[in-house]
A and B are shown apart, each in its own frame.
Chain A
Amino acid sequence: MDEQIDYVRLGLKVGLEIHQQLDTKHKLFCDCPTELADSSTPVSEVERYLKVTKSEVGEVDPAALYEIKRGRKIIYQIPKGHACLVELDEEPPHELNREALKITIAIAKALHSRILDEIYVMRKIVVDGSNPTGFQRTAVVAIGGYIDDEDGRVGIQTICVEEDAARKIDEAAGYVKYNLDRLGIPLIEISTAPDIRTPEQAMRVALRIGLLMRLTGKVKRGIGTIRQDLNISISEGEKIEIKGVSKLELIPKVIRYEVQRQLKLMDIKRELRKRGVRADEITCNIKDITDILRSSNSKLVHRELRKGHRAYAIGLKKFKGILGVEVQPNRRFGTELSDYARAWGGVSGIIHSDELPKYGIIEDIVVSIYKYLKLDPERDAFVVVISDRERAERALSAVVERVRYALVGIPKETRGANPDGTTRYLRPQPGAARMYPETDVPPIRIDEGLLKEAELLKPKTPEELLKELVSRHGLNKEMATQLIKDPLLPMYLDLVRELGELIKPQLIATTLLIYLKGLKSEGLNIDSLTEDDIKKVLQAVGDGRIAKEAIPEVLSAYLRKNVENVEEAINMFTQISVEELRQLVRKIVEENKNAVSRKGTKAFGLIMGKVMSLVRGRIDGKIVANVVQEVLQEFHSEDS
């Protein structure tokens, strides 16, 4: 990736939308708990259909909307004890959860946001089935505010409290299935202004806001409890919405890749103009090429054809090579087209000429397709979809629309983040969401009492926290300052809260800031370590089972997969007593008695080396030296 890009010069503007689950006792509009069900939770199922009104599209993928309009069945799993009639849309919502409101207000105050006087709950129409009501309940709690960053102040636009959606667990042609446990867990949504100017600043701001929320002690932790959406634009590009960045560390990557994508799309536009491609040349003239593909040995093709599907193709004149242009790492312009085919047609993807020969489709067949489509293999391109006629038509016409837009520039899209930081097309950006007042929930007046209670949850400022790290945790100023900026700060605070009685915060900070970084520089994947793994190792130090010097060794052994689990790694380095050590030294001396006899007092180095290789990290080296000395003296006195 080109690290030399001057983002400020490109006019990069990024806005964040952060969603964080709140750790309340009850859900936002009912008295169910906010914990997810597990695989042993008994479930019952209910089947529903949603009515979609003409103009309400909102945040739904086009293919999903199409299926719902055609009467796609929505199945809800009701995990016993994790959802009630409210989630099932069989009972009106209860009043808005005050605990969730208080936490939201506390966070809003820390962001210098202005709390509204009366809170009104709205219904935001969402018809993908992720909410049995067909809408999400959401309320603006505060407006305005800011967060300071070294590259400048970033404004806050709105702070909302809303209900989380149901969890999708299965999907096929005729139905989609959701589990209702997550539905209704309170979320805070913080939207910043597009004041962020660099990829790194975006991560810093997200980190700061994330930390601020964590410091209330009232937000959920773990996978899926926080989700970042990004709005990214550059001067000559377009504002793109990117949904679902689950890892903070991915934010800069997502931004860099998006900028790269926009620049590449602008390159493609210029190249197409140079080639003299006109919009009216790009037509959706669909040809059935099933018979040509049938003669290939492609497993992929035959698997589809066996389902009764057929292969449909369109030609793209003067597009040779364009579909193969890489717009993001491992994602070509053809991949973008594939996203469109999937999103609009519900097909599994496309095959395009720039990637062929591949999938067992050999050169001869490619030539036949070119010939059949009356295209020039040196100049033109084609796109193939294998599906039923109706889906193929929708998929290919979406592809054609997208290809036409390549002449104009960058389409306004809502994209989804992939785990590697690249993004995929989800749907066109919706217009302003349709909002109805939630008439079943009374407004809440924000009074002095509520504000006072919220004040108690207000998180510390970074300055206050820094002071506390030095004065109460006993960290030195340098380490505390470093920690404040580190993404591992929340983990540090959790570990101090849980293990603070047992071990010094200094050791926890050293483990996170020094030992982990060291392991990373050795090329180990420290991302695979969970907070629980680290906690277990530190706990073992606290319990006196291992020496603190053994921490990096234990973690290294675990990361190198020398052991099954972290428990085993700890056992490898469990401390031994002086008496056990003496027995071990005697055994080694005995095994090497010839050498020891021969070397006399010079045998110390030999024995010390052998013993240390077995007990390093399990007992203090000084003690080992003493014991080796003693045993050798013992041996020599007996020997002589």
Chain B
Amino acid sequence: MGNPEGLEVGDLVRVVKNNIVLEGVVMPATEFTSPDVVILKLGNGYNVGVSVKNAKVEVIKKSYAHIGGEALRARTSISGRGTLRLSMISTGGTIVSKVEYETGAVKPALTAQELIELAPELLNEVSELEVIELFRLLSEDLTPSHWSRIAEEVAKRIESGAGGVIVAHGTDTMSYTAAALAFALRNLPCPVMLVGAQRSSDRPSTDSVLNLRACPVIASRAPFGEVVVVMHGHTSDSYVLAHRGVKVRKMHSSRRDAFQSVNDIPLARVDFPKKTFKLLNRRYLPRSSLQNFTVRAKFSSKVALIKAYPGMDCGIIDYLVDKGYEGIVLEGTGLGHVRRECIDAVRRACEEGVIIVMTSQTLFGRVNMKVYTNGRKLILAGVIPGSDMLPEAAYAKLSWLLANVRDRDEVRALMTCNLVNEINEVHDAEIYPRWYHG
């Protein structure tokens, strides 16, 4: 991605080619820029790509425009006219991504001031708003060790008296982190709200504004002390939902309303433009007192999440066992199956002490391994049925249990035990989406 001819990003240059003269500032190349092409920002604001082959290139001024990254800003804060102490921990992702129009560089930073620019009314609602930049990571790059860091940071804010904590997060793995935090942070005195954006905050159409505006409403009005995902409920900017962190999933690659509760209903909604709060789900963990708040922020990185598929190579399971994995969450077919050929590998793994939990790739519904032969055989082999847990929630739960509970039998027992409403024993007929049938 280097520039040809020793040109550096930010240089003001003149390129003469076939009697055409182009003057502009050298922009950073993209992954798809051809090696012989330099991107120039012209005076009219347009970027154009010019091959420097057979061209006369002249640098008019070196380092004409400053284009470069900025250091992570640990903490910024701003005082408001309201009563709520709100903390935001920024981990990166689309919500904090901004393209600088001068340079085209992506700047994933977010300060308290910038947050206020996005949602100015926050100033009327908060007494103090602090923004802690923890990482600048795209969410697919997060690991269970990052979950630990986030959990610790959230705990610190809660212990220092925050009335609500927002975690700005990439949407791709937001539900994993939400589930992980739900297991790590217990007896919460306030909601912990994971917020993201499907359209980056530098766009006029960003969904982050509405999602962020819902946060102080939830922080001050919600009766629950749970980890929730706060995202659009509709493609219109009409309402935002607070989904239970262990029961939510990104169900669309790009829509604003991608996040949906599965096998459960959302905890609450905030309607716009009036910002009315409505509790939707009576089954929630109420806010606890600060004294009862606990944090156990460790996660095992020796847990795998794998999906069963026709013709699956059973050696995958053997490989994980050999690699020293402590737990495997299987995303089985239907009621919780893998092909018959793999049952032996599963049994060996269980005998080696690996904890194997079965979830379903249908996502909706509950596993039931007693209906078909292969299911029954898997139970006998030692597989734990994961009830109606989402594969991601089961993965975070197993990772958390293995890092915090020494006794393997207890881990096995807790896996089927409902800790933070990650298991819903009663499925109403309504909690299944009405698909569009033309």
Task: State which of A91, A114, A133 has its C-beta within 8 Å of the C-beta of B18.
Answer: A114
| A523 CB to nearest B CB, Å | 47
Please tell me if the beta carbons of A127 and B204 are within 8 angstroms of each other in the complex. yes
Give A31-76 interface residues, CB cut-off 8 Å to B: 46-54, 56, 71
| A279 CB to nearest B CB, Å | 34
- Contact residues in A for B47 (Cβ distance below 8 Å): 120, 122, 435, 437
Interface string of A98-140 (1 = CB under 8 A from B): 0000000000000000101111101111010000111100111
- Contact residues in A for B414 (Cβ distance below 8 Å): none
Please tell me if the beta carbons of A89 and B101 are within 8 angstroms of each other in the complex. no
Q: Which of B142-150, B234-242, B279-287, B337-345 contacts A (4 or more CB under 8 A)?
A: B234-242
Known: A85-B254, A125-B204. A118 touches B33 (CB 8 A): yes
CA–CA, A129 and B325, complex, Å: 53
- A-B pair count, CB < 8 Å, reads 129
Is residue B37 within 8 Å, beta carbon to beta carbon, of the partner chain? yes
- Contact residues in B for A270 (Cβ distance below 8 Å): none
Please tell me if the beta carbons of B46 and A54 are within 8 angstroms of each other in the complex. no
Q: Which of B48-56, B59-67, B301-309 contacts A (4 or more CB under 8 A)?
A: B48-56
Known: A85-B254, A125-B204. A445 touches B46 (CB 8 A): no
Is residue A436 within 8 Å, beta carbon to beta carbon, of the partner chain? yes
Is residue B39 within 8 Å, beta carbon to beta carbon, of the partner chain? yes
Please tell me if the beta carbons of B254 and A90 are within 8 angstroms of each other in the complex. yes
Is residue A92 within 8 Å, beta carbon to beta carbon, of the partner chain? yes
Is residue A233 within 8 Å, beta carbon to beta carbon, of the partner chain? no
Across the interface, name the chain B residue whose C-beta is closest to A446.
Answer: B49
Is residue B20 within 8 Å, beta carbon to beta carbon, of the partner chain? yes
- Contact residues in B for A133 (Cβ distance below 8 Å): 199, 203-205
- Contact residues in B for A434 (Cβ distance below 8 Å): 45, 101
CA–CA, A442 and B30, complex, Å: 8
Known: A85-B255, A89-B205, A125-B204. A433 touches B45 (CB 8 A): yes
B-side binding surface: helix, strand, loop or mixed? Answer: loop
Please tell me if the beta carbons of A90 and B256 are within 8 angstroms of each other in the complex. yes
- Contact residues in A for B101 (Cβ distance below 8 Å): 434-436
- Contact residues in B for A71 (Cβ distance below 8 Å): 273
Known: A89-B199, A436-B202, A442-B32. A116 touches B117 (CB 8 A): no
A-side binding surface: helix, strand, loop or mixed? Answer: loop
- Contact residues in A for B30 (Cβ distance below 8 Å): 439, 442-443
CA–CA, A135 and B45, complex, Å: 14
CA–CA, A116 and B17, complex, Å: 10
Known: A117-B49, A140-B48. A52 touches B204 (CB 8 A): yes
Is residue B7 within 8 Å, beta carbon to beta carbon, of the partner chain? no
- Contact residues in B for A90 (Cβ distance below 8 Å): 198, 235, 254-256
CA–CA, A118 and B384, complex, Å: 56
CA–CA, A597 and B345, complex, Å: 121
Across the interface, name the chain B residue whose C-beta is closest to A117.
Answer: B51
CA–CA, A139 and B47, complex, Å: 8
CA–CA, A78 and B198, complex, Å: 20
- Contact residues in A for B181 (Cβ distance below 8 Å): none
Please tell me if the beta carbons of A134 and B273 are within 8 angstroms of each other in the complex. no
Please tell me if the beta carbons of B20 and A48 are within 8 angstroms of each other in the complex. no
Please tell me if the beta carbons of A50 and B205 are within 8 angstroms of each other in the complex. yes
Please tell me if the beta carbons of B49 and A143 are within 8 angstroms of each other in the complex. no
CA–CA, A160 and B51, complex, Å: 19
| B22 CB to nearest A CB, Å | 7
Give B298-331 interface residues, CB cut-off 8 Å to A: none
Task: State which of A46, A53, A117, A139 has its C-beta within 8 Å of the C-beta of B50.
Answer: A117
Task: State which of A47, A53, A158, A436 has its C-beta within 8 Å of the C-beta of B99.
Answer: A436
| A329 CB to nearest B CB, Å | 35
Please tell me if the beta carbons of B205 and A132 are within 8 angstroms of each other in the complex. yes
| B59 CB to nearest A CB, Å | 19
CA–CA, A99 and B173, complex, Å: 37
Is residue B44 within 8 Å, beta carbon to beta carbon, of the partner chain? yes
- Contact residues in A for B17 (Cβ distance below 8 Å): 114
- Contact residues in B for A46 (Cβ distance below 8 Å): 235-236
Across the interface, name the chain A residue whose C-beta is closest to B200.
Answer: A439
Please tell me if the beta carbons of A122 and B51 are within 8 angstroms of each other in the complex. no
Is residue A144 within 8 Å, beta carbon to beta carbon, of the partner chain? yes
Please tell me if the beta carbons of B34 and A120 are within 8 angstroms of each other in the complex. no
CA–CA, A436 and B49, complex, Å: 15
Please tell me if the beta carbons of B204 and A134 are within 8 angstroms of each other in the complex. yes
* Interface size counted on chain B using CB atoms at 8 A: 47
Please tell me if the beta carbons of B46 and A140 are within 8 angstroms of each other in the complex. yes
Please tell me if the beta carbons of B254 and A122 are within 8 angstroms of each other in the complex. no
Known: A92-B254, A432-B45. A47 touches B204 (CB 8 A): no
- Contact residues in A for B27 (Cβ distance below 8 Å): 437
Interface string of A466-498 (1 = CB under 8 A from B): 000000000000000000000000000000000
Please tell me if the beta carbons of A435 and B49 are within 8 angstroms of each other in the complex. no
Across the interface, name the chain A residue whose C-beta is closest to B210.
Answer: A49
| B60 CB to nearest A CB, Å | 18
Give B167-226 interface residues, CB cut-off 8 Å to A: 198-199, 202-206, 209-210
Known: A88-B235, A116-B49, A120-B49. A432 touches B20 (CB 8 A): no
- Contact residues in B for A139 (Cβ distance below 8 Å): 46
Chain A CB within 10 A, most for which of B17, B20, B235, B237:
B235
Please tell me if the beta carbons of B254 and A116 are within 8 angstroms of each other in the complex. no
Please tell me if the beta carbons of B46 and A435 are within 8 angstroms of each other in the complex. yes
- Contact residues in B for A432 (Cβ distance below 8 Å): 43-45
Please tell me if the beta carbons of A445 and B34 are within 8 angstroms of each other in the complex. yes
- Contact residues in A for B198 (Cβ distance below 8 Å): 90
Is residue B334 within 8 Å, beta carbon to beta carbon, of the partner chain? no
- Contact residues in A for B22 (Cβ distance below 8 Å): 143
- Contact residues in B for A123 (Cβ distance below 8 Å): 203
Is residue B363 within 8 Å, beta carbon to beta carbon, of the partner chain? no
Interface string of B148-159 (1 = CB under 8 A from A): 000000000000
Please tell me if the beta carbons of B48 and A120 are within 8 angstroms of each other in the complex. yes
Is residue B353 within 8 Å, beta carbon to beta carbon, of the partner chain? no
Please tell me if the beta carbons of B256 and A439 are within 8 angstroms of each other in the complex. no
| B128 CB to nearest A CB, Å | 24
CA–CA, A158 and B44, complex, Å: 10
- Contact residues in A for B99 (Cβ distance below 8 Å): 436-437, 439
- Contact residues in A for B49 (Cβ distance below 8 Å): 116-120, 443, 445
- Contact residues in A for B45 (Cβ distance below 8 Å): 122, 124, 432-435
Please tell me if the beta carbons of A114 and B20 are within 8 angstroms of each other in the complex. yes
| A360 CB to nearest B CB, Å | 40
Is residue B118 within 8 Å, beta carbon to beta carbon, of the partner chain? yes
Please tell me if the beta carbons of B237 and A47 are within 8 angstroms of each other in the complex. yes
Task: State which of A85, A116, A439 has its C-beta within 8 Å of the C-beta of B48.
Answer: A116
Interface string of B10-42 (1 = CB under 8 A from A): 000000011110100001001011100101011
| A450 CB to nearest B CB, Å | 13
CA–CA, A518 and B397, complex, Å: 87
| A56 CB to nearest B CB, Å | 8
CA–CA, A628 and B45, complex, Å: 79
Is residue B431 within 8 Å, beta carbon to beta carbon, of the partner chain? no
| B271 CB to nearest A CB, Å | 12
CA–CA, A377 and B209, complex, Å: 54
Across the interface, name the chain A residue whose C-beta is closest to B236.
Answer: A47
Please tell me if the beta carbons of A122 and B204 are within 8 angstroms of each other in the complex. no
CA–CA, A540 and B199, complex, Å: 57
- Contact residues in A for B80 (Cβ distance below 8 Å): none
27 pairs, A vs B, C-beta closer than 8 Å: A48-B236, A51-B204, A52-B204, A53-B117, A85-B254, A88-B235, A90-B198, A91-B253, A91-B254, A92-B254, A114-B20, A117-B50, A118-B33, A118-B34, A118-B48, A118-B51, A119-B48, A119-B49, A120-B49, A125-B204, A127-B204, A132-B205, A140-B46, A140-B48, A143-B48, A144-B19, A443-B37
Nearest 6 CB-CB pairings of A with B:
A134-B204, A118-B49, A435-B45, A117-B51, A120-B47, A437-B104
Query: What residues make up the interface of B, taking CB atoms closer than 8 Å to A?
Result: 17-20, 22, 27, 30, 32-34, 37, 39, 41-51, 99, 101, 104, 106, 117-118, 198-199, 202-206, 209-210, 235-238, 253-256, 273
Apart from A49-B237, A50-B204, A120-B39: 10 A-B pairs, beta carbons within 8 A: A49-B209, A54-B117, A89-B205, A90-B254, A118-B34, A118-B48, A119-B48, A122-B47, A140-B46, A435-B46
